[in-house]
Amino acid sequence: MKKLVYILLLALVAVGCGDETAPKPDHLLKEGEMVDILYDISLLQAIKSFTPNSLSDNNVNPQTYIYKKYKIDSLTFAQNHLYYASNLEEYQKIQKKVVDKLQKNKEALSPKKPSKTKDGKAVSAAPAITPQPVSGEETLEQKQARLDSIRQVMRMRRKVRADKPLNQ
């Protein structure tokens, strides 16, 4: 009986170690598109994590948002995600790009310490010159402005709700 268990276990390990990749989807998303989708998903998850009601209060369904923004459906996303995830090196490369993009965003949003002159007065740094987006791509500043406007609308809605009498 023990021999049978060992043989089955060995067979299971041998089958599981195969180098099979998922089939290539009919509508294969480019690597850059997959990075953008996973980046947006990460941002939406962070928003949902830090302000749980913010998305639902603004009638934003994260999945629907992603599908509409990238003009894909759930099947296309699932097939592409499985395809890229089945190739570990490729998927790690994509994940690294997502993390790098998140880190750049974090650094851009972090307050910078103003430099000081000899007399102790603060001197603000000159604004950075950013290259113009290529092929309709949104710049980091544009994304930040869009995110800031969403936050402002959310704050205004909360204030309106807080100012409403309870008996209405």
**What are the pLDDT digits (tens) for 110-133?**
877 666 666 666 655 545 444 444
Any domain includes 62 = yes
Say which residue, 32 or 112, is predicted with more confidence: 32
Lowest mean pLDDT among 53-67, 77-91, 144-158: 144-158
The pair of structure tokens assigned to 104 is 């750049």
As beta bridge partners, residue 123 has: 115
Report how far residue 98's alpha carbon sits from residue 34's, in angstroms, rounded to the nearest whole number: 9
Domain-located, residue 71: yes
Contact 36, 70 (CB under 8 A): yes
Query: Which one, of 19, 24, 31, lies nearest residue 96 by Cα?
Result: 31
Range from 44-58, 68-82, 101-115, 118-132 carrying the lowest mean pLDDT:
118-132
Instruction: Please compute the mean of the pLDDT values over residues 84-96 and round it to a whole number.
Output: 92
**Which helix H or strand E contains 116, and what residues bound it?**
strand 115-116
Residue 127 CA, distance from chain mean position: 26
Q: Tell me, yes or no, whether 2 lies in a domain.
A: no
In a domain, 45, yes or no: yes
Q: Which pLDDT score, from 0 to 100, does residue 154 have?
A: 77
Higher pLDDT, 60 or 94: 94
Q: Which two tokens stand for residue 75?
A: 């099947």
Q: How confident is the model at residue 109 (pLDDT cuts 50, 70, 90)?
A: confident
Q: Does some domain include residue 99? A: yes
Which residue would you say has higher pLDDT here, 150 or 34?
A: 34
| Nearest-angstrom CA–CA distance, 74 and 66 | 9
Domain count, the chain: 1
Is residue 31 scored above 70 in pLDDT?
Answer: yes
pTM: 0.57
Q: Which domain holds residue 50?
A: 22-106
Q: In the predicted model, what is the mean pLDDT of residues 26-40?
A: 94
How high is the mean pLDDT of the chain?
A: 77
59 in any annotated domain: yes
3-class DSSP state for residue 18? coil
Residue 161 lies in a domain: no
CA atoms of 98 and 137, how far apart (whole Å): 16
Residue 130 in domain = no
| 122: helix, strand or coil | strand
